[in-house]
Amino acid sequence: MEQCLHISGSVPGPDGAAIFALAGLAVSGEACPPGAVPSAGGPQTNSGCRWAYALPSTTIAPATPNRKRGKSMSFRSGQSGNVVRKGLMWHGRFYVDVPGDEARRRTSVPLGSIHSMKKTEARRKLRAMLEEMGLNSEQHLERATRGAKTFAMEAEWWREQKLSKYKPSCQETMGGHLDKYLIPQLGSLPIAAIDERRVQELITDLERVEYTRSDGVKKRLSPKSIRNVMGVLKLMLGKKVWRDWNLIFPEDIDPDKEQRYFTQAEMIQIVNAADGQWKILFALMAGSGLRIGEVSGLEIEDLDLAAGLIRVRRGIWKGRAITPKTKRGKRTVFIEPTLVRMLSSYLAGRTSGRVFQTASGKPHSRHNVWRKLKLILKSLGLQPGGLHAFRHGRVSMLQANGMPGDLLLEQIGHSNLKTTSGYTHFDDAFRQRMARVQGLFSQEDGPNGPKFPDFPSTGLVM
């Protein structure tokens, strides 16, 4: 649609003609009185003045409002950096784009010793570095201005695509670390901004975190808990990101504190103090080293009492059946004759169903079994301990009795002997016995053996 532009006034031109020029609109003709308005459609005559004009066919675009400029190469002339001396080294300074941030950040890199290169050589080296990094290219700017992925966005993707493949118990634990500690601290940051320095600061922040236990006591996160949180972060970021990091973790509050385990004598006391199905359940945990979830998941079809073995095929977590904890968790465990007789008497001819169950036929929950154990320990005057103390005690007993490592892994269901080593505990009585049995001077001297003087007061060899 053609438009008419009314211009009041005129600019005299050659031969008395008036020539107007405004934004590409050319109007020429004889002088025209102020206020005369020509109509569109070609040359017009208005009060004795003749017009010849040319109108554009499109509307003149309105002026754009003043707004903040984003990142654009049109506003950059490119950077060559700046070389400065720091001590005995040349350093190059330049700017880098931060994803999701309008401002650029200045950074500095060492170029070489002042004794090995001149400043002009350092400048050339810096320019070569900038070219290699592509900081002045359109592609680099595009990467920097593209929508930055935040840690919270990456965490949700990781939760749906990777964490969902883990065991339900792991999903709950690691998901809790994400929601309680990682996302609140790192959620708004671009994923590319999470570096060693920022993670070290996070470790320091976690040392100050307090939580309230169920009994109302306030405590701070233990060093082990902080390591577990960082383990989740590493899984998310991937080894390529963190493999060169050198993170410093807080020291254990009590590094000499040993994991609670039940000795052979304590396990016998606990079994003797229990009654009903609890006696059989605790006896099985002590005599086989099965996890509480594996014991709760046992069905009568998993038992072959004639052969003296148990097939571990599943576990129980929050009332539902799940696969064993590890690949080696699905295994066959051989048991001693005393356990076979106890189980046979307890089952009393039953051929199907769960081995251990509540009055309603449901599997026992971890909490209920632990609560029963807690009462027994208190009645016996023994130190508190968890259900896993049975497993630690069984591994320690097998190790002390010299079971081969490969067979031990097969029976316990660990993935490697390093894990098993963490379950192994020896008391002082065993250490003393091993010192006597393996002692260099414990054997009687032969006729050709060395002679040692007797200790004056006791007669023992020194």
The predicted structure's pLDDT at residue 430: 87
Same domain, yes or no, for 156 and 212? yes
* pLDDT tens across the length of the chain (462 residues): 444 444 444 444 444 444 444 344 444 444 445 455 444 444 444 444 444 444 444 455 555 555 444 444 444 445 778 899 988 888 888 877 665 555 667 778 888 889 989 999 999 888 888 877 776 665 555 555 455 688 999 999 999 999 999 988 899 999 999 999 999 989 888 888 899 999 999 999 999 888 887 778 888 899 999 999 999 999 999 999 999 999 999 987 666 678 899 999 999 999 999 999 999 999 999 999 999 999 999 999 999 999 999 999 999 988 889 988 888 889 999 999 999 999 999 999 899 999 999 999 899 999 999 999 999 999 999 999 999 999 999 999 999 999 999 999 999 999 888 889 989 998 888 888 888 888 777 655 555 555 555 545 444 444
d(CA 80, CA 277): 80
d(CA 68, CA 136): 22
CATH no. for residue 351? 1.10.443.10
Residue type at 255 in one-letter notation: P
Same domain, yes or no, for 415 and 268? yes
d(CA 106, CA 262): 59
Same domain, yes or no, for 279 and 391? yes
Kindly compute the dihedral angle of the four CA atoms of residues 256, 260, 264, 266, in this order, to the nearest 10 degrees. 120
SS3 content of the chain, % helix, strand, coil (to 5): 40, 15, 45
Please check whether residue 392 is in contact with residue 259, taking contact to mean a CB–CB distance below 8 angstroms.
yes
Same domain, yes or no, for 409 and 316? yes
Which token pair is 307? 């052969």
Residue 142: burial class (beta carbons within 10 Å; 0-12, 13-18, 19+): exposed
Q: Choose among 333, 341, 425: nearest CA to 388.
A: 425
The predicted structure's pLDDT at residue 19: 41
Domain that includes residue 46, residue range: 1-59
Same domain, yes or no, for 270 and 408? yes
Q: 116 lies in a domain?
A: yes
Q: 289 lies in a domain?
A: yes
Q: Choose among 90, 91, 92, 84: nearest CA to 114.
A: 90
Q: 314 lies in a domain?
A: yes
Q: 433 lies in a domain?
A: no
SS (H, E, C) 244-298: CCCCCCCCCCCCCCCCCCCCHHHHHHHHHHCCHHHHHHHHHHHHHCCCHHHHHCC
Note the Cα 313 to chain centre separation in Å: 30
Residue ending a domain, choose from 145, 169, 194: 145
Q: 442 lies in a domain?
A: no
Q: Please tell me whether residue 41 adopts helix, strand or coil conformation.
A: coil
The predicted structure's pLDDT at residue 14: 44
Same domain, yes or no, for 223 and 170? yes
Run of H or E including 106: strand 104-113
Q: Please tell me whether residue 332 adopts helix, strand or coil conformation.
A: strand
Residue ending a domain, choose from 385, 402, 421: 421
Please check whether residue 12 is in contact with residue 25, taking contact to mean a CB–CB distance below 8 angstroms.
no
Neighbours of 338 (CB within 10 A): 10
Same domain, yes or no, for 137 and 181? no
Neighbours of 422 (CB within 10 A): 11
Same domain, yes or no, for 131 and 278? no
The count of structural domains within the chain is: 4
Same domain, yes or no, for 133 and 159? no
Integer CA distances (angstroms), 14 to 30, 48, 52, 400, in order: 10, 19, 16, 118
d(CA 164, CA 166): 6
Q: Please tell me whether residue 299 adopts helix, strand or coil conformation.
A: strand
d(CA 22, CA 30): 18
Same domain, yes or no, for 280 and 416? yes
d(CA 204, CA 280): 47
The predicted structure's pLDDT at residue 140: 56
Which DSSP string corresponds to 163-188?
GGGS-HHHHHHHHHHIIIIIHHHHTT
Alpha helices in 46-111 (DSSP H): none
Q: 65 lies in a domain?
A: no
Q: 73 lies in a domain?
A: no
Same domain, yes or no, for 14 and 124? no
Q: 453 lies in a domain?
A: no
Residue ending a domain, choose from 100, 117, 145: 145
Same domain, yes or no, for 172 and 273? no
Integer CA distances (angstroms), 361 to 296, 319, 358, in order: 12, 11, 5
d(CA 312, CA 201): 44
Q: Please tell me whether residue 154 adopts helix, strand or coil conformation.
A: helix
d(CA 456, CA 462): 10
CATH no. for residue 237? 1.10.150
Residue type at 28 in one-letter notation: S
Neighbours of 113 (CB within 10 A): 12
Residue type at 277 in one-letter notation: Q
